[in-house]
Amino acid sequence: MKQIAVISGKGGTGKTVVTGSFAALAKNKVMVDCDVDAADLHLLLHPEVKERHEFRSGQTAVIDKKLCKKCGKCASVCRFGAIKSDYTIERFSCEGCALCSHICPRGAIRMEENVAGEWFVSDTQYGPFVHAKLGIAEENSGKLVAKIRQIAKELAQKQNLEYVIIDGPPGIGCPVIASLSGVDCALVVTEPTLSGLHDAKRVMEVVTYFNIPIKLVVNKYDLNPLMTGKIEEFCRSLNVPVIGKIAFDKTVVKALVEGTTVIEYAECAASNEVKKIWEDLQ
Ligand code: SF4
Ligand code: SF4
């Protein structure tokens, strides 16, 4: 079983368009959407949720009003201003440090585990799909990403699937690192803009640090041939193969509007290039 992570370093490069197309092209695989902050692969895969699980992470203080004597000690030590004047907790300000619970002379403060999101195992017409939804304002430390990757890997082993295909989050932080750990290949999808090049460079540094083989795709390459040239030059300097250049193609936009992958929507320049990219990856 091989694991492939599709990443971009920044949002909006067309990473999910490429990953969604792989869902239509790859035969024995499980798809995983690790962009748990702003998941969108489900818009193309149309999952039927089979399992739904709570994701618990972090703690929030809770004050027992019956025990509280309003001495104010807890509020005086809370650096986050999370304890209101009526001695209730402002949920989104509480960082869960638990200091107040140790300070309270009445033992009136307990720490409660947060339900920080949900994760799902679904069926799709393309095979199994593991995905998640992080709660509003919940911290994305990478734990939820690690959880759904573990579930996807177990599923692939159980069903003897050939690939785990990961739609990675943007950026270079903990969720990206959690998406990359132990993968066999990272496919960087970028766009020919200054920020596309800058963020691709950053994420490639992270991938290189973990000794993961990298391949790169330039999406909408023909919109800025000069910048595409700079990206190719940079890749050459690192010996990173550029395995595809997808031209800007309105068919892709039409496919997205219809909620389907460009592979299924129509044969066009973009779909042919993505097929070539998948061949190369295999
Ligand atoms: S320290 Fe304890 S008793 Fe004092 S105000 Fe806070 S919760 Fe109430
Ligand atoms: S747990 Fe920490 S952040 Fe939350 S209310 Fe208590 S002292 Fe403040």
Report the chain's terminal Cα–Cα distance, integer Å: 12
Q: Is the dihedral of CA 266, 268, 270, 276 positive or negative?
A: positive
Architecture of domain 2-46+125-281: 3-Layer(aba) Sandwich (3.40)
Ranges of each domain in the chain: 2-46+125-281, 58-115
The CATH class that applies to domain 58-115 reads: alpha beta
What lies within 8 Å, CB to CB, of 21 at 6+ separation is 261, 262, 263, 271, 274, 278
pLDDT tens for the 282 residues of the chain, in order? 999 999 998 888 999 999 999 999 999 999 999 999 889 999 999 999 999 999 999 899 999 999 999 999 999 999 999 999 999 999 989 999 999 999 999 999 999 999 999 999 999 999 999 999 998 877 777 999 999 999 999 999 999 999 999 999 999 999 999 999 999 999 999 999 999 999 999 999 999 999 999 999 999 999 999 999 999 999 999 999 999 999 999 999 999 999 999 999 999 999 999 999 999 999
Q: Is the CB of 100 under 6 A from ligand 2?
A: yes
pTM equals: 0.89
Q: What's the confidence (pLDDT) of residue 136?
A: 82
The ligand whose atoms approach the alpha carbon of 81 most closely is 2
Q: Is the CB of 18 under 6 A from ligand 2?
A: no
Atom of ligand 2 minimally distant from the CA of 79: 8
Which amino acid does the sequence have at 165? I
